[in-house]
Chain A
Amino acid sequence: MTGLREHFAETAERAKYYDLTGVVHTARRRRRMRRAGAAAAAVLVAWVAVAAGGFHSASGPMVTVDATGEPTAGRLGWLPATFGVPDEPVPLPGDRGVGEGALVYCRDTECLLLTSDGASYSVPGQIWGLSPDGRWLIYDAGGAMMLRLLTGDRVEPVTAATDVVGWSATGATVVVRQSGVDGRVTVVDPDRGSVVTVAVPDPGWWQPKGLAPDGDVMLAPRSSFTPAAPSTTAPPMRSTTAPAAATTTEPVAAPPTNLDFGIVYVDPATGGTRGHPFPDVDEVYEDWQPWAALKVLARPATGSVVFQPGRRVTTDDTPFYTAGDLIEISPETGTALRRYTLPEPSSVDDAAGELVGVVPEGILLRWPSTPPRIEVVDPSGARHTVSTGPAGVELRMVRGGTRFS
């Protein structure tokens, strides 16, 4: 092998012949739904008519919360309202604590940790995650994943892990996975020193997203719409058989063969699973667009699940795809609770708010605009700017964030 051309050619030969029949079926179904006309239109009209109220969809009441207003100034106690980039950042010291972290930002190829007291530290390797309590940072050190206590000098290696999936709703328990190993994840609690391996049932259909407040591992569909099934017949959602005896023997929930979104919970202690009938996202969001790497977060207090589909926007006859509204669903029933409508970008260069975290005060959005900022959307839909960074930097993650957030 001598160059990129040869490498790409060899890579192409490793491709599979992906089964795309699911796409054809999904497209047909969506077309039928659009052509159903009256029913769908009634739902659309209902959304417009009840901008501040609720309506009853097939899956239950949902409140549409208008979050399109201009943001006002706000504060989160742990997040500096503003910060600057030091000319010569200090490396994260290895022999002492630096205090709780607040967010991670990047400038060019360099990423820095911002602590709650406003100090910035350069981190030598890729930053993989910052715990919800701000105490632990996960970063790459020479190809090894390391957990670093920011309030002390402890450093713990995370073995057999190449990717951070998500965090607990609070505290510092983290879910990691290993590339190429879809059938299991590892739940690491650095404060207790516990490491638990959890089987992911039907990994061709489901992928881990993080932890619910009760510690269960949350799974979401591998694709955010009907996936190309690993087999021609959709397998039932079974209770897992590892790492311990399953507590459930009955199928809990079928994969979303005709739905767009769903959550299944796996108990790390028993391997048992539970799930709910899923809301058909088409019913609560008429023009939602799938996201290949959908972020799914559980709110700390309620456990309700927040996710953000994409949206299709057309300007000057040119369609483009960007972050859409926020959807919140009930962990008890799986029904849609709220849809937070966010401002629609006016052009392809206009920024859209992107879901990056959940806190007791509300939902955290990142705006990659100039200057970049972090906002909280409170339950009323009011948006508050809680941190503003200097122009030219990317706000990569806040507390509870991962590399892909």
Chain B
Amino acid sequence: MGGFDGFPEFVEAHTGVWSRLAYVLAGSHAGAEDLLQIALLKTARRWSRVRGYEQPEAYVRKAIYHAAVSQWRRGREWPVADVPDRAVAGDHVDDVDRRIALDAALARLTPRQRAVLVLRYYEDRSVADAAEMLGVSVGTVKSQTAYALERLRVVAPELVGLEWEEAGR
């Protein structure tokens, strides 16, 4: 049995959901592609072990987050987020303006702050789950969430009307 048996099929089966997560995390297609590639290369190197896990896709998901946060560890950031330059069908002008403003504001967060928000508000994870995923303390997740939301308010005061769901779980 080859060392990569099942890996291409595994990647094919989950690329859609990983692509969406990576794009939300990176905010740009180039960044998302890089995140996925880094995470999957790590996974491939340990595939003989990972494929025996109960949920191997969870390993990749964690690797995607760690790849994103490692950008923060190195003091780097992803390229400037892709910002839609025109409305899509069904958009109202206010919604488009607000989306662009929020994209721009999110792009100014550190990757770790953004990762915390994605875990809490995109994946709807609890504080404890988010802490486990990022390998940090519960307190760090709470403080980073609060700091990130506050920073969004500072860099994008025009979004004052936006609802910030302060999840407290």
A residues adjacent to B (C-beta < 8 A)? 1-5, 7-18, 20-24, 26-28, 30-31, 109, 126, 162-163, 179-180, 182, 207, 222-223, 225, 227-228, 290-293, 310, 320-323, 354, 366, 368, 394, 396, 403-404
Contact = CB atoms under 8 A, between A and B. Distances in A.
B130 interface: no
- Counting chain A CB atoms within 10 Å of each CB, which of B3, B84, B121, B154 scores highest? B121
14 contacts: A4-B121, A8-B118, A16-B32, A20-B40, A23-B11, A23-B40, A23-B44, A27-B45, A180-B83, A228-B36, A292-B34, A293-B34, A293-B78, A322-B73
A3 B163 contact: yes
A396 B74 CA distance: 11
Interface string B135-165: 0000000000000000100100000001111
Interface in B1-34: 3-4, 7-8, 11, 15-16, 19-24, 27, 29-34
Given A10-B99, A24-B7, A27-B44, A293 B76 contact: yes
B164 A15 contact: no
Give chain A's interface secondary structure class: mixed
Interface residues of B, number: 63
Contact of A4 (B35, B38, B95, B165): B165
Interface in B53-112: 66-67, 70-71, 73-85, 95, 98-99, 102-103, 108
Contacts of B79: 163, 179, 293
B20 A12 contact: yes
Give chain B's interface secondary structure class: helix
B117 interface: yes
A223 B37 contact: yes
Contacts of B154: 109
Contacts of A323: 74
B128 interface: no
A18 B19 contact: yes
A180 B100 CA distance: 13
Contacts of B77: 293, 403-404
- Counting chain A CB atoms within 10 Å of each CB, which of B3, B34, B70, B165 scores highest? B34
A16 B40 CA distance: 17
Contacts of B122: 5, 8-9, 12
Nearest to B31: A292
A103 to B, nearest CB: 14
A12 B17 CA distance: 9
Given A163-B79, A292-B38, A3 B73 contact: no
A1 B33 contact: no
Contacts of B37: 20, 22-23, 223, 225, 227-228, 290
Given A12-B20, A26-B41, A354-B75, A20 B11 contact: yes
Nearest to B4: A28
B75 A11 contact: no
- Counting chain B CB atoms within 10 Å of each CB, which of A321, A322, A323 scores highest? A321
A22 B164 CA distance: 39
